[in-house]
Amino acid sequence: MTNNLTIAAIVPTIGNNNFIVSSLESLLKQNISFNEIIVFDNSQSDSFKGTIPTRILDRVSWFKTPERLPCYESWNQAIKCASSDYIFVIGDDDIVLPNLSQKCFERATKSNISLLKGLTIDHLGNRTGNLPYPKDVEFISLSDFIEYRTSNKIATLFPGTLIEVKTFNELNGYVNSEVSGWAFTDEFFIIRALTNKYKVSIIEGFCWEYRIHPDQIPVNVDVKGFFIQLDKYINKTKDYGLFNNINLSNKKNYVRHVSGYLASCLGYSYGRKKDLIQMIIFLIELLKNNKLPPFINISYLFYRSIKSFFKVFFI
């Protein structure tokens, strides 16, 4: 450990999958122990805690919400439960490798926020690849981040992030992104940190596994929601003055990135419902709508939404 600093590992959960025991076991098998392991139970189930083996409960701190909280507020409250200098958050379905805590302790004092590189696994725990990260990059600027995000060269998933608690509090934690499924909540936090000149780094070497499985919470977007959510999120970035000091090209690319993601989620939502009619309505609305920023390519939104639609339509 470095200068007696302390790090808490935090696991927010709503109890919607069967992977949490494996996740907690991986946290307990670190080469260097975390100072705290906290489970924040937002499940609204009185029996959920009882499904966790005593051997694990004896070594973690368990906090239960009296009522279901929105996702971003659950994350904020979970972090408030920690008394450590830094927090590392992991999903209740993800796995940390034995070297993760050591990487956290080694990096903590060098930056306010650190992104830890993650592999991907399926529901059986088989490795399927890795999340995207730029090569040979240690510290990133706001312009760097926007460039990497819009070209899919960096992941900003909520798990896999080491955060200084002081920095987290100064930024007032996570805020509502106004996007379905709380998408962009983690990304919005990173952008706010970079805008306010906090140091954000990428830790070299893979040290955790992001699980992709059927029980993950989907981001549901309908026709009306697409336009409303895109407008709200863009306005929120303006309200926070997030892009005042980057070039216009980066701003445009980021808005394209957000609109493409929402279009993809919309296609996926209607594809799962086999709702071809609503999909056609969306494509018509794209052609009719004059409120989209002029630099957004309608053909690109067509492509993203249709690709996602047919990816699940025949399943």
Under the banding of pLDDT at 50, 70 and 90, the label for residue 107 is very high
CA distances from 98 to 27, 53, 82, 157, 232 (A): 8, 21, 22, 20, 41
Report the candidate in 150, 152, 153 with the shortest Cα–Cα distance to residue 135.
153
Task: Report the CATH architecture of 7-211.
Answer: Alpha-Beta Complex (3.90)
Residue holding tokens 């904020």? 76
pLDDT of residue 159: 83
27-53: b or e for each residue (b if 16 or more CB lie within 10 Å)? beebeeebbbbbbbbbbeeeebeeebe
Is 113 exposed, middle or buried (CB count within 10 Å of its CB: 0-12, 13-18, 19+)?
buried
> For 30, phi and psi rounded to 5 degrees?
-80, 150
Q: What is the mean pLDDT of the chain?
A: 92
Residue 241, pLDDT above cutoff 70: yes
Report the candidate in 229, 178, 206, 210 with the shortest Cα–Cα distance to residue 72.
178
pLDDT of residue 293: 83
Distance from C-alpha of 182 to C-alpha of 184, rounded to nearest angstrom: 6
Residue 155, pLDDT above cutoff 90: no
pLDDT of residue 3: 64
250-264 pLDDT tens trace: 889 999 999 999 999
Provide the residue ranges of all domains of the chain, joining segments of one domain with +. Answer: 7-211, 223-313
69-94 pLDDT tens trace: 998 999 999 999 999 999 999 999 99
pLDDT of residue 25: 97
User: What would the two tokens of residue 200 be?
Assistant: 């954000």
| Contact in structure between 79 and 72 (CB atoms under 8 Å) | no
22-76 pLDDT tens trace: 999 999 999 999 999 999 999 988 889 999 999 999 999 999 999 999 989 999 9
